[in-house]
């Protein structure tokens, strides 16, 4: 099959491309960065350099393909994340229609139907193509964004340790934490992008006549259990995941100068996870868990953590 993979050599798209190439498919990878050409070719795929903001480019790229994996990269430089996601989803829908694509796998998220601003699945409703919506849980790779917090470095790190772990922790060097408006003993499904790549690779070769939704997860546990696994891998077995209220989280994001609309969207996404409703939906769909466990990822994480 000729398959288009958007998302460049990102967390999912790189292992996805590797899997598809190894199974003999002709793969074309979309990247906005011409410097990625060689790396894409080295995987045995063809690069298509351009932006998902460009409908004509997407249409040309999709023409003649048997299947498309369509993802929208999160863009935190956009002041209104919801409006950006909808704009990009409409670009995809228009290009898929114009190119006459027969099979599409769209990346969404497990909280999408519970978060007004994040949900753009409806944009694909009018398409006649065979469509699968992927709803993966919370990526292991999100922990990379918290490396500074886990290290507890600087004045802010010390202040947060003092506030949430107490003076004794600060004096004994037990600095660092994870935090969010989901956390503590909230049960969350975490997922490896490699397991998502396996699921997407499988879906791309199917051809369901009705739209399907597929949840993907690798391991379920509480946030504090996850913090312990990650913390132990980096020599901080005391690491905990502090649960903030929505209001505290919003205040924190505003103090960090995150634009208001974007901050509201981030708080809404995390609140859906704290509510337990994302987990309920996940359980209802009963997906088989993936192979890569958090302890496996924690080893990879430690390598990056110590280099930074």
Ligand X SMILES: NC(=O)c1ccc[n+]([C@@H]2O[C@H](COP(=O)([O-])OP(=O)(O)OC[C@H]3O[C@@H](n4cnc5c(N)ncnc54)[C@H](OP(=O)(O)O)[C@@H]3O)[C@@H](O)[C@H]2O)c1
Q: Which residue, judged by CB position, is nearest to ligand X in the bound state? A: 10
Of the candidates 3, 4, 25, 31, which one interacts with ligand X according to CB under 6 A? 31
Nearest Cα to Cα of residue 218 among 127, 299, 103, 136: 136
CB of 131 or CB of 169, closer to ligand X: 131
> Taking the complex as a whole, how short is the minimal distance between the CB of residue 276 and ligand X, in angstroms?
17
| Non-local CB neighbours of 288 within 8 Å, separated by 6+ positions | none
Give the single-character DSSP code of 187: E
Count the site residues for ligand X by CB under 6 A.
25
**Judging by DSSP bridges, how do beta strands 46-49 and 178-180 pair with one another?**
unpaired
Reduced to 3 states (helix: H, G, I; strand: E, B; else coil), residue 214 is strand
Interface positions, 122-151, toward ligand X (CB under 6 A): 136, 138-139, 142
Of the candidates 3, 4, 5, 8, which one interacts with ligand X according to CB under 6 A? 8
> Taking the complex as a whole, how short is the minimal distance between the CB of residue 287 and ligand X, in angstroms?
14
> Taking the complex as a whole, how short is the minimal distance between the CB of residue 39 and ligand X, in angstroms?
9
Query: What is the Cα–Cα distance from 219 to 290, expressed in whole angstroms?
Result: 8
What is the contact mask toward ligand X in residues 177 to 206, using x (rule: CB under 6 A)?
----------------x-------------
Yes or no: say if 105 and 203 are a contact pair by the CB < 8 Å rule: yes
Nearest Cα to Cα of residue 109 among 184, 196, 186: 196
| Non-local CB neighbours of 202 within 8 Å, separated by 6+ positions | none
CB of 162 or CB of 221, closer to ligand X: 221
- Beta-carbon neighbour count of residue 305 at 10 Å? 19
How far is residue 113 from each of residues 93, 99, 140, 147, measured CA to CA in Å? 19, 28, 21, 29
Interface positions, 69-98, toward ligand X (CB under 6 A): 71-74
CB of 120 or CB of 169, closer to ligand X: 120
CB of 162 or CB of 222, closer to ligand X: 222
CB of 7 or CB of 82, closer to ligand X: 7
Binding residues vs ligand X (CB under 6 A):
7-8, 10-13, 30-33, 36, 51-53, 71-74, 107, 109, 136, 138-139, 142, 193
């Amino acid at each position: 099959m000729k398959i288009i993979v958007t998302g460049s050599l990102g967390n999912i798209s790189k292992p996805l491309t590797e899997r598809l190439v190894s199974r003999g498919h002709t793969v074309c990878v979309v990247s906005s960065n011409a410097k990625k050409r060689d790396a894409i070719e080295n995987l045995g795929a063809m690069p298509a350099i351009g932006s998902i903001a460009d409908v004509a480019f997407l249409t040309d790229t999709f023409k003649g393909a048997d299947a498309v994996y369509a993802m929208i990269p999160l863009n935190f430089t956009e002041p209104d994340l919801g409006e950006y996601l909808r704009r990009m989803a409409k670009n995809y829908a228009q290009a898929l229609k114009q190119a006459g694509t027969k099979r599409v796998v769209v990346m969404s998220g497990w909280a999408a139907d519970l978060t007004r601003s994040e949900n753009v699945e409806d944009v694909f409703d009018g398409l006649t193509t065979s469509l699968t919506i992927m709803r993966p849980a919370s990526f292991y790779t999100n922990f990379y964004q918290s490396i500074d917090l886990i290290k507890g470095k600087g004045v802010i790190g010390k202040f947060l340790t003092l506030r949430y772990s107490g003076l004794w922790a600060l004096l004994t060097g037990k600095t660092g934490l994870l935090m969010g408006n989901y956390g503590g003993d909230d049960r969350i499904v975490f997922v490896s992008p490699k397991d998502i790549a396996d699921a997407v690779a499988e879906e791309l070769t199917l051809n369901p006549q009705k739209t399907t939704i597929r949840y993907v997860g690798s391991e379920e546990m509480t946030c504090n259990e996850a913090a312990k696994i990650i913390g132990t891998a980096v020599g901080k077995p005391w690491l905990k995941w502090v649960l903030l209220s929505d209001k505290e989280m919003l205040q924190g994001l505003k103090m960090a100068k995150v634009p208001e609309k974007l901050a509201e969207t981030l708080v809404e996404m995390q609140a859906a996870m704290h509510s337990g409703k994302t987990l309920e939906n996940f359980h209802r769909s009963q997906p088989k868990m993936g192979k890569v466990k958090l302890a496996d990822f924690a080893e990879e994480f430690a390598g990056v953590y110590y280099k930074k």
